[in-house]
């Protein structure tokens, strides 16, 4: 598990405002509360590289994430 104080500092790199918090639903990934992008945890460290993240169901590309859509 990622320590809570460290997890509180992390934000989704795809959020333009850098306000989207991450949660840890299990030991293998972090989940963005806003766009549902899933970042893997490898050897106890979060991999915050968006190209290695798993897209949420129904999203075909990073530029199609909810946080990337213009209103």
Q: How confident is the model at residue 2 (pLDDT cuts 50, 70, 90)?
A: very high
Do the beta carbons of residue 68 and residue 55 sit within 8 Å? no
What is the model's pLDDT at position 71?
58
What SS3 state is found at 32? Answer: strand
The yes or no reply on domain 4-57 and CATH 1.10.10 is: no
Q: What is the pTM of this model?
A: 0.90
pLDDT tens, position by position, 21-36:
999 999 999 999 999 9
Residues of the chain above pLDDT 70, percent: 97
Residue with tokens 């199609």, as numbered in its chain: 64
Q: How confident is the model at residue 16 (pLDDT cuts 50, 70, 90)?
A: confident
Do the beta carbons of residue 37 and residue 53 sit within 8 Å? yes
By C-alpha distance, which of 38, 36, 30, 25 is closest to 68? 36
How far is it, in rounded angstroms, from Cα 41 to Cα 56?
17
């Amino acid at each position: 598990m990622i320590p809570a104080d460290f997890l509180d500092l992390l934000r989704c790199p795809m959020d333009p405002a850098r306000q989207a918090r991450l949660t840890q639903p299990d030991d293998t990934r972090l989940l963005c509360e806003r766009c549902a992008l899933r970042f893997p945890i490898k050897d106890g460290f979060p991999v915050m590289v968006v190209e290695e993240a798993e897209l949420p169901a129904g999203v075909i590309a990073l530029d199609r994430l909810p946080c990337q859509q213009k209103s």
